[in-house]
Amino acid sequence: MKKFSQNEIDKFIELLDFSKIEGGVVPMIAQDYKTNEVLMLAFANEEAVRQSLETGIACYYSRSRKKLWKKGEESGHIQEIQNIFIDCYRDTILLKVKQKVAACHTGFYSCFHREFVEGKLITRGKPVFNPDDVYKK
């Protein structure tokens, strides 16, 4: 798990361009640090990026709920940050993470578990957990 100092976090924030998407957020991709499987994409505002780098655990910003989204807070399915990359325009973050249990709330390891084939969505892989057991109604 990778944590950063306040000084390092300030430098990282300065590098990023939050101006491209309404609400001052950047897309943040989480990728399995071993297999390179893409797990999910969500958005992060400055506070979410700070939180992620301070704690070493991925934190996003929920644009619909308008608040920080500490991924795994309820389920325990946290993402421990191993490496942080940014793209050439400094407006997108790529996290290599150690994913606990699964990234997707539907029970699959990756949120990208459905492939579009011949006009239909085909589910790839099998669910890792039962959402009814993990998320209380």
Query: Which residues would be at the binding site for a second copy (CB under 8 A)?
Result: 4-5, 7-8, 11-12, 15, 20-22, 27, 29, 31, 35-38, 40-41, 63, 83-89, 92, 94, 104-106, 108, 111-116, 118-121, 124
CB of 43: closest distance to a second copy in angstroms?
9
CB of 118: closest distance to a second copy in angstroms?
7
Q: Are 99 and 32 in contact (CB under 8 A)?
A: yes
Closer Cβ to a second copy, 22 or 132, answer by number: 22
Instruction: Provide the 10 A C-beta neighbour count for residue 54.
Output: 15
Q: Are 41 and 108 in contact (CB under 8 A)?
A: no
CB of 79: closest distance to a second copy in angstroms?
15
Coarse DSSP helix, strand, coil percentages of the chain, rounded to the nearest 5 percent: 20, 35, 45
